[in-house]
Amino acid sequence: MKFTVLGSGAGLPSKDRNTQSFVIDCVLEYNEYILIDAGEALQHRILHTHIKPSKIKNIFITHLHGDHIFGLPGFLSSRAFQGGEGIPLKIYGPRGLREWLETTFRISESTLNYPLEIIEVEAHMKIRLNNFDVHVLPLSHGIESFGYIFKEDDKIGELQTDKLREIGLKPGPVYGEIKSAETFTVDNTVYKSADFIGETIRGRKITVHGDTRLNSDEEYLNLIRNSDLVVHEATFLKNEREKAHDYFHSEVNHVLDIFKDINYKELLIVHISSRYTDEDIKEVSALLEGRAVIAYDYFELPIPRNVK
C-alpha cells in the first residue's frame, strides 16, 4: 500500500503544484485505488502515473470548494472510456455534492456507462470499505469540511510451520485449518493454535484532513492517535497562526505543536500556498527536522503493515 499525491497546492495552482488530489494505492491488497479529492485537471495528472481510472472504485471528497472538486466531472466522464464501463463507483462527500454533480451532468448532457452512487456523509459517520473502517471526521473550515480516517483490519499472524513440523505435522490442508481453529490434535495430543501463530499484524491507519483550522480537542486527537500516516494542510508556513486561523486554515509550526504527542509515524504537509517559493519550502523543510514532510506533486509514500 502507498499514498500518492497528485496535487499538493492550495486554492491557486502554480506551475509546480496542482490543486489537491490524493490516491491510496491498495491494488495489491484490494485491487483498487481510493481517490481523495479531485482538484482541477485530475485526469491529466493521472496520465503521468500508472493509475488506472477503472480501478478507482471509491472517491472521498473532503469539502466542496472548487480546488477540491473541479476535476471530478471530467474524471467521471473520462473513466467511462478508460475501462470503467460497467464497474460501479461510489463517491462520498458533504451535502450538496449530489445536486452539484447531477446539475453538471444534466446541463452538459453527459452520461456514464457505469453505476454511480453518491453518498452524502455526516460527522462521525462510519463506512465499511474493503477491510477498512472509515470514520468521517468533522473539521472547521467555514463551509462543511471533513477528514477521513481509514483503519484497516488487523491480520492474523503468520503460521509458524517450523514449529508444526517439530510436533510431526506435515504440510497439507490442515495448515490452513489451524489458523481458523482454537485447537488441533496431533497423535492424540491437543494443541492451542495460538501457540503456532506469529504476532498479529496491525492494520494500517491513514488520516487525511480536508481544509481546516487546527483542533486541539482531546477527543479529536484520540481519534487520529497512532496513525501510520497523518495528512494535514498547512496553507501557511511561516509562523502566521493568527492569519491562518482567520482564513480557516492551518500553519505548519502550529500543526507540529498540536500533534507532538499523538504518536504518528508519518506527517505529510499539503495544501501549500502558491506564494511560497522553492527557497521558502527548502527553508521550512530544514526546520521540520524529520518531524514532517512537505509534499510535492507525485510524491509517493509506502505504508507497510506493522507487527503488534
Tell me the whole-structure pTM to 2 decimals: 0.92
Residue-level pLDDT at 307: 64
> Could you tell me which residues come within 8 angstroms of residue 188 by beta carbon, excluding any fewer than 6 positions away?
none
Per DSSP, 156 falls in state P
Residue-level pLDDT at 167: 93
Q: Which residues are annotated as a binding site?
A: 63, 65, 67-68, 141, 211, 271
Q: Which residues are annotated as a binding site for Zn(2+)?
A: 63, 65, 67-68, 141, 211, 271
Are 271 and 20 contacting, i.e. CB atoms less than 8 angstroms apart? yes
pLDDT along the chain (308 residues), means of 10: 97 92 96 97 96 97 97 96 94 98 96 96 97 97 97 92 92 88 91 92 96 95 97 94 95 95 95 94 91 96 83
Residue-level pLDDT at 308: 58
Domains, the chain: 2-155+200-307 (3.60.15.10), 161-196 (no CATH)
Active site residues: 67
Give the residues across from 189 on adjacent strands.
Answer: 186
